[in-house]
Amino acid sequence: MPFNTKLTRALGIKGKFHFHGGMQWVGYAELASAVSNAGGLGILTALTQPTPEDLRKEIRRCRTMTQKPFGVNITLLPAMNPPDYGAYAQVAIDEGIKIVETAGNSPGPVIKQLKAVGTIILHKCTTIKHAQSAVKLGVDFLSIDGFECAGHVGETDITNLILLSRARQSISIPFIASGGFADGQGLAAALSLGAEGINMGTRFMCTIEAPIHHNIKQSIVDAQETDTELVLRRWRNTSRLFKNKVTNEAVKIEKESTTGKFEEVAPYVSGKRGREVFINGDPDFGVWTAGQVIGLIHDIPSCADLIGRIERDAEQTLNSASSLIVSSSKL
């Protein structure tokens, strides 16, 4: 189902609609190259790499695995000792990365740094207010991230059925849909609501090429849409995670703590333990992100098979919908 839109022309992905955004401990060269080779846009996660120089090595490694365009995600998160985001951005610039996905807090300086050399910016937002602010910063495209999504969901609890339509009504630049997408019917719905493509995270985690333990992929296949948990709402840093023993304990502390100190829950939401989950295959070892879309995932295909299937199903869905239109002359 080839399409010619501002987004596909700018990104050079020849009519494909599929992206995988930043995914901590998942967005390595193996997955990014597989998505790009399948015709989508693969994205390396900068902060998965411990240093900017490690990101440089990963970009170069990815180039040995694909000749197609791919991007880099830079997510700015609240931290006591934040990484040197500017240094990560400079590596992307030095290595000739043309497409960067940004997200998180106060992205202005990084966006300015990237735009100064003509980088195409795709900025992820969970609210229309933040989307409008990003437009003023000069981003080229937006990723509208609904409450269904994995990871940081924002604090407004607005699902994509509303959020995408609000973006269509009030945003002046093209946008893609992120959060809750896994199949062709979802792609057709996103296009109908005004998006120019979809960004899938959890769905791409559950592919052959995703560099995580098979047990975690099988946990996603076996899960229902109710098997996620919202953690850290008390500190307005809400994250949607796979529901397991650790998230249950974290939520219990969050609700019952009389001090409200983050230190009480910090050991349970450790990113280091989350990384170990993807290596050792124990879904209860630590916290890890997953969206409500897990209820729609029932197999572990290759990225190429997945993208091909989604496009075929989207085309069939759109054609079926158009067949419902009856000329007034026939009524």
Residue 15 reports pLDDT greater than 60: no
Question: Is 216 part of any domain?
Answer: no
DSSP-assigned letters across all residues of 59-97: HHHHHTT-SS-EEEEEEE---SS---HHHHHHHHHHTT-
Question: Is 312 part of any domain?
Answer: yes
Say yes or no: 89 and 235 in one domain.
no
Say yes or no: 314 and 244 in one domain.
no
Say yes or no: 274 and 133 in one domain.
no
Residue 10 reports pLDDT greater than 90: no
pLDDT of residue 62: 98
Question: Is 291 part of any domain?
Answer: no
Q: Residue 67, class by beta-carbon neighbours within 10 Å (0-12 exposed, 13-18 middle, 19+ buried)? A: exposed
Residue among 41, 51, 52 nearest 8 (CA):
41
Q: Residue 254, class by beta-carbon neighbours within 10 Å (0-12 exposed, 13-18 middle, 19+ buried)? A: buried
Rounded distance between C-alpha atoms, residue 312 and residue 90, angstroms:
39
Beta bridge partners of 145: 178
Counts for the chain of helices (H) and strands (E), in that order = 13, 11
Residue 328 reports pLDDT greater than 80: no
Rounded distance between C-alpha atoms, residue 203 and residue 183, angstroms:
9
Cβ pair 88, 46 in contact under 8 A: yes
Q: pLDDT band at 17, cuts 50/70/90?
A: low
Say yes or no: 206 and 123 in one domain.
yes
Say yes or no: 175 and 247 in one domain.
no
Q: How many domains does the chain have?
A: 2
Question: Is 243 part of any domain?
Answer: yes
The residue-averaged pLDDT of 312-322 equals: 94
Rounded distance between C-alpha atoms, residue 32 and residue 61, angstroms:
11
Say yes or no: 188 and 242 in one domain.
no
Residue 327 reports pLDDT greater than 80: no
pLDDT of residue 271: 85
Q: pLDDT band at 77, cuts 50/70/90?
A: confident
Rounded distance between C-alpha atoms, residue 172 and residue 167, angstroms:
9
Question: Is 218 part of any domain?
Answer: no
Q: Please state, rounded to an integer, the average pLDDT across all residues of the chain.
A: 93
Question: Is 45 part of any domain?
Answer: yes
The residue-averaged pLDDT of 40-67 equals: 97
Say yes or no: 117 and 234 in one domain.
no
Instruction: Work out the number of other CB atoms within 10 angstroms of the CB of residue 98.
Output: 17
Say yes or no: 128 and 198 in one domain.
yes
Say yes or no: 200 and 313 in one domain.
yes
What sign results for the dihedral spanned by CA atoms 93, 63, 312, 300?
negative
pLDDT of residue 326: 80
What are the tens digits of pLDDT across the range 124-149?
999 999 999 999 999 999 999 999 99
Say yes or no: 122 and 235 in one domain.
no
Q: What is the CATH number of the domain that holds 29?
A: 3.20.20.70
Where helices occur in 12-152 by DSSP H, the ranges are 29-37, 52-63, 85-94, 108-115, 128-137
pLDDT of residue 254: 95
Q: Do the bridges between strand 18-19 and strand 42-45 make them parallel or antiparallel, or are there none, so unpaired?
A: unpaired
Q: Do the bridges between strand 18-19 and strand 239-242 make them parallel or antiparallel, or are there none, so unpaired?
A: unpaired
What are the tens digits of pLDDT across the range 245-304?
999 999 999 999 999 899 999 999 988 888 999 999 999 999 999 999 999 999 999 999
Say yes or no: 276 and 164 in one domain.
no
Question: Is 220 part of any domain?
Answer: no
The residue-averaged pLDDT of 167-171 equals: 97
The whole model's pTM is what? Answer: 0.94
pLDDT of residue 107: 93
Say yes or no: 11 and 125 in one domain.
yes
Residue 5 reports pLDDT greater than 90: no
What are the tens digits of pLDDT across the range 78-115?
777 899 999 999 999 999 999 999 999 889 999 999 99
Q: pLDDT band at 14, cuts 50/70/90?
A: low
Question: Is 150 part of any domain?
Answer: yes
Q: Residue 40, class by beta-carbon neighbours within 10 Å (0-12 exposed, 13-18 middle, 19+ buried)? A: buried
- By residue range, what is the domain housing residue 115? 6-210+299-319
pLDDT of residue 20: 74
